């Protein structure tokens, strides 16, 4: 049962209602709240913080598990953390400046422009229908002027994205899709205004506004498909501890991370992230090293044990002497690796961009030839301009602009309903070309579990009572394996740093923890009273749908590999269970990146599937990537696709949908090309006015949209 199930306040309240008004105050501090899960948590956090002197306001973001505190006088982050922990909430300092803003000003601007152009287009079309129906003389001129007064402000506002993009492209000495778009809008509007001023019979404001409206639809769909992507390097950087406890001459002092030097002694409390690479000089604890290994098993740590930045101290306070600081720490090096890997993948050229490189110059040349040819033939400037504008409009890449986002959005909708979130606009194009898959093991193909059949009913009941509310990964694995068991009534439960848990059951002392603590060697045991300790067998079990997924992808022609930070025996066991021949064990983050780079160098297009912080670099380095929703924030940020379900079953059809989507994109470009082959000669011959060109362009756009909708059916 999830934590949220214990919170009555969680029931029936949509997450959109959970955020309060924006924080205010002269300064802002951001804290991570990994344990919050409901409205009651939000209210408790905000109430505790607002009671502090100097705190102006506090706003909790439940989905991001963060609180932003506005202060109007100096308040240290440590004071805020102590206050929250006294109230029962785990809190950690988060360097939010490294994450960037969550606001989507550009997306909201596009939606507003889309709404304005759509509303204006409806009104202009009403006036145009009246003109087409036979309005003449003063009535026609009045309608032209009303149309101009609606269209010109609309175009100046709504078409800004195309004007700005086209101008930037021209200043950079190149052509993109927005150059012919902007030129068509400007020329159509200019000719229409000229015709209106001098009493002409035709104006084409309806064509210009319709063109803008359809193109904004494509631009917004494309933006939404890209918005979910975030920098994995920024997510990793935010894990760095901005302030640390330094011990110098027996004095404890909170200092900035940047002020640390090699040789400094640093104190890290249980639950804290280790800020530097170093060696433990005092203390006994257990360390979560999933950042480097991806494995959930904790490592014992005592005096002399080496630790690295980004690892988490789980059970006891530690004093660490720094051996590397700043940019030399393991965490900073991981950030650099991810940055470099992302830069390589970001050089992928989308299908639409490839088309634009050829299409834009061709459109301009056609329009120029049309203008020159008709000027030489007729010596009529107005006629020549009209035909040139008709060519620009009829060849305007509206259908081409919709070709990719229409398909991507339809495919993303289908995948979302199946439990997959597409985060990157080019993800499906890249996934369609993938021929090799590299899986992480722990947390991706397997989940930690305890063998419940080795414990009798009473032992199961006691073990569940002791572990159901514990945060230790092993405790959580034991509790998860005992689903359906009724917990026993235990009292006086305590946690012993680096050792385990103890409690009282029916007057007897019960201990659950490491074998060394119970005097029986390595492993995890439970002892009831003076009875002999019973071993709790811990091993990885296949995640639901893992076998079916690997088998299906192999049948689809994909080459499957397994890389893991675990030892060779466990990795070999899982590889054999899944019929995977290519595997590598004991891999560190740099090893995983190197493994993918080698496959890439051999000509493979690699899909990486992983969940740990140690997988972040590999996820970014791969041609395409997937992570489960339970993955670390940085891993999800580096991924193109996020699996929202516990089961791996929804991934089976992903390559099929991606291949179908790429086929639809290519079909849409074919439709656009055929349309141009037919329509361009008509426009060049002078048989298409700008209005007819606009109608033809709209028809091609609708055809492209209908073709994209075919993805909703059978593949």
The residues annotated with a catalytic role in the active site are 440
Tell me how far apart the alpha carbons of residues 580 and 355 are, in angstroms, rounded to a whole number.
39
Q: Is residue 265 a contact partner of residue 246, using CB atoms and an 8 Å limit?
A: yes
Phi, psi of 318 (to 5 degrees): -130, 145
CA distances from 111 to 106, 116, 243, 482 (A): 9, 9, 41, 50
**Pair of tokens at residue 123:** 């009104």
Q: What is the b/e burial string over 159-188, where b = at least 16 CB atoms within 10 angstroms of the residue's CB?
A: bebbbebbeebeeeeebbbbbbbbbbbbbb
Structure tokens at 124: 């202009």
Sequence-separated (6 or more) residues with CB below 8 Å from residue 138 = none
SS3 state at 388:
helix
CB burial of 543-564 (b: ≥16 within 10 Å; e: otherwise) equals: bebbeebbebbeeeebbbbbbb
What would the 3-class secondary structure string for 228-255 be? CCCCHHHHHHCCCCCEEEEEECCEEEEE
- From the number of C-beta atoms within 10 Å of its C-beta (0-12, 13-18, 19+), residue 274 rates as buried
Contact 412, 227 (CB under 8 A): no
Comparing CA positions, the residue from 321, 288, 320, 285 lying closest to residue 301 is: 285
Angle of helix 160-171 relative to helix 178-197, nearest 10 degrees, comes to: 120
Residue 198: beta bridge partners?
none
With tokens 């939010």, the residue in question is 96
CA–CA gap between residue 40 and residue 68 (Å, rounded): 17
Which residue do the tokens 């003389």 mark?
Answer: 137
Q: Alpha helices of 71-104 — where are they, by DSSP H?
A: 77-86
36-63 b/e (C-beta count within 10 Å ≥ 16 → b): bbbbebbebbbebbeeeeebbbbbbbbe
| Helix pair angle (398-418, 351-378), 10° resolution | 160
Helix (H) or strand (E) holding 602: none
């Amino acid at each position: 049962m999830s934590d949220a199930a214990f919170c009555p306040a969680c029931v029936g309240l949509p997450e959109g209602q959970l955020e309060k008004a924006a924080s205010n105050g002269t300064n802002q501090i951001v804290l991570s709240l990994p344990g919050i899960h409901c409205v009651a948590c939000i209210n408790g956090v905000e109430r505790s913080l607002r009671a502090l002197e100097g705190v102006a306001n506090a706003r909790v973001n439940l989905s991001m598990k963060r609180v932003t505190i506005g202060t109007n006088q100096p308040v240290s982050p440590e004071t805020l953390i102590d206050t929250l922990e006294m109230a029962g909430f785990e809190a950690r300092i988060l360097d939010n400046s490294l994450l960037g803003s969550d606001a989507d000003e550009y997306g909201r601007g596009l939606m507003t422009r889309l709404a304005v152009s759509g509303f204006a287009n409806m009104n202009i079309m009403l006036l145009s229908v009246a003109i087409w129906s036979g309005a003449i003389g003063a009535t026609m001129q009045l309608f032209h002027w009303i149309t101009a007064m609606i269209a010109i402000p609309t175009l100046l506002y709504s078409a800004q994205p195309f004007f700005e993009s086209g101008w930037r492209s021209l200043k950079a000495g190149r052509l993109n899709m927005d150059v012919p778009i902007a030129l068509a809008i400007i020329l159509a509007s200019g000719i229409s205004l000229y015709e209106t001023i001098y009493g002409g019979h035709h104006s084409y404001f309806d064509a210009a506004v319709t063109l803008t409206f359809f193109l904004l639809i494509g631009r917004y769909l494309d933006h939404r498909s890209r918005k979910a992507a975030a920098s994995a390097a920024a997510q990793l950087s935010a894990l760095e501890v901005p302030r640390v406890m330094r011990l110098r001459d027996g004095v404890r002092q909170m200092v900035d991370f940047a002020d640390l030097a090699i040789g400094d002694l640093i104190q890290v409390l249980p639950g804290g992230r280790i800020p530097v690479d170093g060696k433990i000089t005092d203390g006994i604890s257990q360390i979560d090293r999933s950042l480097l290994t991806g494995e959930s098993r904790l490592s014992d740590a005592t005096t002399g044990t080496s630790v690295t930045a980004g690892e988490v101290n789980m059970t006891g306070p530690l004093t660490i002497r720094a051996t590397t600081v700043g940019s030399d720490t393991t965490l900073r090096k991981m950030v650099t690796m991810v940055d470099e890997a992302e830069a390589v993948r970001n050089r992928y050229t989308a299908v639409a961009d490839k088309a634009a490189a050829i299409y834009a110059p061709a459109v301009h040349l056609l329009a120029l030839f049309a203008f020159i040819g008709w000027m030489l033939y007729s010596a009529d400037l107005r006629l020549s301009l009209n035909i040139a504008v008709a060519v620009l409009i009829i060849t305007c890449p509206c259908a081409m602009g919709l070709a990719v986002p229409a398909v991507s959005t339809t495919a993303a909708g289908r995948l979302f309903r199946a439990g997959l979130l597409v985060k990157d606009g080019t993800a499906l194009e890249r996934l369609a070309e993938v021929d090799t898959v590299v899986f992480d093991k722990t947390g991706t193909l397997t989940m930690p579990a305890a063998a419940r059949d080795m414990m009798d009913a009473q032992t199961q009941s006691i073990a569940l009572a002791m572990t159901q509310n514990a945060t230790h990964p092993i405790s959580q694995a034991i509790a998860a394996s005992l689903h359906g068991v009724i917990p026993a009534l235990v009292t006086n439960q305590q946690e012993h740093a680096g050792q385990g848990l103890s409690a009282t059951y029916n007057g007897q002392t019960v201990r659950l923890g490491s074998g060394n603590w119970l005097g029986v060697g390595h492993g995890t045991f439970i002892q009831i009273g003076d009875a002999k300790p019973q071993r709790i067998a811990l091993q990885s079990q296949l995640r639901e749908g893992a076998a079916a997924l690997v088998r299906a992808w192999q049948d689809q022609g994909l080459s499957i590999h397994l890389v893991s930070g675990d030892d060779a025996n466990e990795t070999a066991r899982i590889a054999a269970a899944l019929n995977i021949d290519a595997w590598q064990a004991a891999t560190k983050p740099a090893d995983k990146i190197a493994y993918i780079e080698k496959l890439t160098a051999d000509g493979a297009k690699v899909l990486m599937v992983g969940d740990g912080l140690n997988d972040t670099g590999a996820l970014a380095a791969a041609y395409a990537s997937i992570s489960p929703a339970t993955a670390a924030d940085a891993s999800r940020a580096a991924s193109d696709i996020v699996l929202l379900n516990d089961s791996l079953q929804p991934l089976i059809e992903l390559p099929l949908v991606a291949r179908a989507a790429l086929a639809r994109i290519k079909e849409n470009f074919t439709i656009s090309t055929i349309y141009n082959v037919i329509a361009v000669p008509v426009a060049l011959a002078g048989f298409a006015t700008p209005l007819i060109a606009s109608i033809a362009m709209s028809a091609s756009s609708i055809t492209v949209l209908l073709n994209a909708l075919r993805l909703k059916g059978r593949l």
